[in-house]
Chains A and B, each alone.
Chain A
């Protein structure tokens, strides 16, 4: 079955540091790929997505590129802020309908 693997966490950074959270996937076919973010006490919300190979999703300074050759969708941000502290989930989208397979989540803490 489909699976998504995220880098081990938690991740702790200082403000303005560079962020990378690794994500790799296994799937039959060509899934869509997503990054969701969960702020404390809230539900998940979509951060960005990519629907085909070489697509780059971007939002709020975050970026991720769909790499079919390495089956990866790593999340990056050039300069993190304290307000980026949250849990980040990588997910692959079902090819038939809206079924998602999630990674285990990465806790990001950004210090001033």
Chain B
């Protein structure tokens, strides 16, 4: 019973490097999202998707790209990492069309940009 799987768990990047954070879910959820967690600021929405081929920006999208080619996968790309992107990143999924639906979260990726 995998749920939402994120890889890697930890990553250190140099400023200017690019990388992709992977997220996969096996619950056939249409809605997937990426959040970043910073001390004292809760979780802030970066990007989200309501289905394959459909993505949209959240509260803090700058510096990040996403795509959704399949229902299962929703990778987050950092094009040119900056120290301000040091954070813990969480991927989540839930059913579409149900505002009361539970969101399932991955274990998180702790990213440090030096």
- Chain A contact residues, CB within 8 Å of chain B: 4, 6, 31-32, 34, 36, 42-46, 49, 51, 89, 93-105
CA distance A101 to B60 in the complex (A): 13
Find chain B residues with CB under 8 A from A89 CB.
42-43
Q: Is B40 a contact partner of A45 (Cβ separation < 8 A)?
A: no
CA distance A46 to B3 in the complex (A): 14
Encode B1-43 as 1/0 by CB contact (under 8 A) with A. 0001000000000000000000000000101010100001111
Find chain B residues with CB under 8 A from A95 CB.
99
- Chain B contact residues, CB within 8 Å of chain A: 4, 29, 31, 33, 35, 40-45, 48, 50, 90, 92-103, 105-108
Tell me the nearest residue of chain B to A100, going by C-beta: B103
A-B Cβ contacts below 8 A, count: 76
CA distance A98 to B35 in the complex (A): 13
- Cβ 8 A contact of B48, one of A31, A43, A93, A99: A99
CA distance A34 to B94 in the complex (A): 14
Find chain B residues with CB under 8 A from A45 CB.
105
Q: Is A46 a contact partner of B103 (Cβ separation < 8 A)?
A: yes
Q: A42-B107, A43-B90, A43-B107 are in contact. Are A99 and B45 (CB under 8 A)?
A: yes
Q: Is A98 a contact partner of B43 (Cβ separation < 8 A)?
A: no
Q: Is A99 a contact partner of B42 (Cβ separation < 8 A)?
A: no
- Cβ 8 A contact of A97, one of B40, B97, B107: B97
